[in-house]
Structure 1
Amino acid sequence: MTSSEPVISPDFAPFLIQPHFDPRIWGYRDLRPWFDVTAGDEPIGEVWFTGDQCRIASGHHAGKPLGQLFSEAPAELMGSKGHPGSPLLMKIIFAKEKLSVQVHPDDAMAHKYGEPRGKTECWYTLAADPGAAVALGLKPGVSMDEVRAGIHNGTLEDFLNAVPVAKGDMVFVDAGTVHAIWPGAILFETQQYSDTTYRMYDYGRPRELHIEKSLEATKLATRSGKIAAQVLSDRTILIDVEYFRIERIAIEGSRSSSDLRYDGEPPRGLSYLFAAEGSARLVSDAFGPIEIPARNIVLIPAASPEFTVENSGGLDLIRIVPRWPEATA
């Protein structure tokens, strides 16, 4: 953990991150109109925004892999509170087919198997067809014996809760929650930075299953579910848990960077701005203007100079702030 406050520097002005298009067998071959991208040999299922392999797309560090900059300048990016490495992975999920039924470990189980952290996540629904739903958690009264039997005889889905989703819904997926993303919705996922997934059932696809670890990770009851938005005078809190806080920020004309911070938030820390719809511009006396197109993300380092956010038209701005549980802070 770093111990000193970062020095404000235009070298650590906000910067855009180039999306990384990740192939998945359950994805799409054409991401238009969301992105002007078509697939090659394999369909695209995920668009990563904060992966270590993602390239910085603007500013002093343009061209550098994001993970490299986190290694080189943790204090400048994260401030005095935080741990080495990117704390959150953010992506958009494009599911043309059902994903596997899966579960993620919590921190304790991840540490047991030599992983740095577990995987708690959430999904913000960018778009949804009528009747769209996700599988989230086990139905009340389901036993572990039934889960194991359902894996082996192909009836596991019968034991899962189907949760309807519509545009604007926020869904919390606590570690230990058995879940599956189904077709019909486009989801913006924020998660602890971990790619540890235990597949329980994969609809006959020829991919590895992790049955014993998935059963070990499974919790019969978790905190998962749809989260009611908390509407405040200056923002809407979509979710606020131990690993991340996510807000919708209304920008009528323009808004200063200091005004983006919520009451009680440290004055210097890492945050991200995601243009879910429309576009934005960041302007400052300390650095040149930064355009944020729709479905793009900008990282705000702890060492960033102050700036102003301008609504360039139709902006739906999502602000993501990493949080560290007190036990590991």
Structure 2
Amino acid sequence: MTPFRIEPLFVGRVWGTNDLRPWYDQVATGEPIGEVWLTGDDCRVATGPHSGKTLGEIFREMPQAMMGEDAPSGDSPLLIKVLFAQEKLSVQVHPDDRLAQKYGQPRGKTECWYALAAEAGAQVAAGLKAGVTMDEVKAGIEGGTLEKSLRMLPVHAGDMIYVDAGTVHAIWPGSVLLETQQNCDLTYRMYDYGRGRELHIEKSLEAVQLKTKAGKVMPRVLEDRTILLACPYFTIERIPVDASRSSASLRREEESKAGLSYLFAAEGTGRVSSPSFRDVDLPPRGMVAVPATSPIFAILDMGGLDLIRITPRWPGKGA
């Protein structure tokens, strides 16, 4: 199965923006655009023999071709987005796998944010301040003062912030974030600034963990790549491409078996080239899926390419 580009899906959010330029050539005609889904189940394949199919269909029809023999199911494992917040998002929390499955969902939602850009003073909330109790969380929800209990982090371009399931969190305006998460859109809103959207107080309190591993993650610089984050559900790397780089060299030593990966152009343009298939162009902020059964190829730097590689992982198994 050959690599293919994925068409982005532009998703309206009340806290979004009306004009995504220069990031994407997209202007809102109705609700502001808050999220650009790069691997959503409803995103469509843009190149190759499966053009026009949704990503969800591809995973259901060809799970092992996409993810390899260790694939636990036919579901897409990761949802990757670019977030454009012009207003504060709700203060929220996501369930872990156990709680999500209790309510009939296949998985919970651990995520991370990689800052593609950030204005001076940009912040996010990732967790609660030390010593905050559950009674204080409840009082903050009831009194509209929950923000006072949040642990705020300044955001600069290039920062990686880990947000494991159970972390109370929020995003404030001023940054453009590449979000990688388990493919689950369960969000329990705790406080929403009076916007009138549904809150999920009981479930959010059940999901909240007072202490989590959330926070900034320092990059691990290796000879041939930089590991931005490695967690039980995904690994995110920044891959230098000096003119061109072979597909074999993209894989880490510990990747004993071929599996799914995604190639994202944080800046610049690239091209996936092989004698076995037609070239696949990688535009700025574009996404190419590399199935487990992909033939060998080369990734070419067509101008200023800043390549991010994202690979799903399954707890208890290798990448």
Query: What is the TM-score of this pair, normalised by structure 1?
Result: 0.95
Query: Retained in 1: the 8 A contact 2:255–2:318?
Result: no
Alignment of 1:169-208 (within 5 A): 169-208=159-198
Equivalent residue of 1:288, what SS? strand
CA distance, structure 1, for counterparts of residue 121 and residue 19 of structure 2: 23
Equivalents in 1 of 2:85, 2:123: separation in Å? 12
Task: State the secondary structure of the residue aligned to 2:127.
Answer: strand
Q: Secondary structure at the match of 2:59?
A: helix
- Which amino acid in 2 is paired with 1:274? F
SS at match of 2:277: coil
Residue 230 of structure 1 corresponds to which residue in structure 2? 220
Task: Name the residue aligned to 1:19.
Answer: 8
- Which 5+ residue runs of structure 2 have no aligned equivalent? none
2:288 is the alignment partner of 1:298: yes
- Aligned residues with identical type, % of pairs: 61
- Aligned partners of 1:215, 1:197: CA distance in 2, in Å? 12
SS of structure 2 residue aligned to 1:275: strand
Cα distance in 2 for partners of 1:195, 1:267 equals: 29
Counterpart residue number, 1:148: 138
Shift of 1:327: 7.9
Please give the alpha-carbon distance, in whole angstroms, between the structure 2 residues aligned to 1:113 and 1:215: 15
| Secondary structure class of the residue paired with 2:135 | helix
Equivalent of 1:90 in 80, 95, 101: 80
Q: Structure 2 residue aligned with 1:268, among 254, 258, 271? A: 258
1:80 aligns with 2:98: no
Q: Distance in 2 between matches of 1:77 and 1:99?
A: 33
Q: Which residue of 2 aligns with 1:6?
A: none
Q: Whole-Å Cα distance in 2 between the matches of residues 282 and 141 of structure 1?
A: 50
Q: Distance in 2 between matches of 1:288 and 1:195?
A: 34
Unaligned runs of 5+ in 1: 1-11
SS at match of 1:277: strand
Aligned to 1:56: 45
CA distance in 1 between counterparts of 2:317 and 2:216 reads: 26
Per the alignment, in what secondary structure is the counterpart of residue 157 of structure 1? helix
What is the CA–CA distance in structure 1 between the aligned matches of 2:180 and 2:81, rounded to whole Å? Answer: 7
Q: Alignment partner for residue 30 of structure 1, among 16, 19, 22?
A: 19
CA offsets 1:25-57 (integer angstroms, 9 cap, x no match): 100000000001000111000000111110000
Q: Quote how far apart the aligned CAs of 1:328 are.
A: 12
The one-letter code sitting in structure 2 at the alignment partner of 1:306 is I
2:74, 2:211 → 1: CA distance? Answer: 32
Q: Which amino acid aligns with 1:263?
A: E
Post-superposition shift, 1:285? 0.8
Give the count of matched residue pairs.
Answer: 318
CA distance, structure 1, for counterparts of residue 43 and residue 180 of structure 2: 16
